[in-house]
Amino acid sequence: MVDPTRDPVTVKCADRSTLEEFSFSFFCDLCGKEWQSARYGFHAGDFAAPLDPKVFQLLWSAQHNAAFERANQDASYAFNRCPVCGRWVCEACFYLAETGISDICMDCLGEHNHG
């Protein structure tokens, strides 16, 4: 199972974060369709003076990591994991079986029908 605190759920992931907010894009392992996470704002606290750059970096990094963990967890619900090949795919690339064949990605469905 993928550890959502370490590796992105999908093979391709893009960090769209800025200094003010955190956001991430995840892409279907089959067709590449993009799914974008919610935007999480950066909160530097209520300091009267400007933050020391090192303190700012520590706060930003900690919040960035937490935002990625939330986004990665959300991505695991936005995509379907194929039980055959293990890829994370969008709804359009996932076959929901009505009878017989299990729920699998369209690539594996094609191999199943031709194999």
Q: Which two tokens stand for residue 32?
A: 């590449």
Q: Is the pTM of this model over 0.85?
A: no
Q: Are 79 and 28 in contact (CB under 8 A)?
A: yes
pLDDT, tens digit, for every residue of 57-92? 999 999 999 999 999 999 999 999 999 999 999 999
Tokens for 3, please give them. Answer: 């550890």
What kind and span of H or E run contains 60? helix 53-78
First-to-final CA distance of the chain = 27
Closest CA to 89 of 28, 36, 35, 34: 28
pLDDT digits (tens, 9 = 90+) for 26-58: 999 999 999 999 999 999 877 767 778 898 899
What is the helix (H) or strand (E) element at residue 28, kind and residue range? none
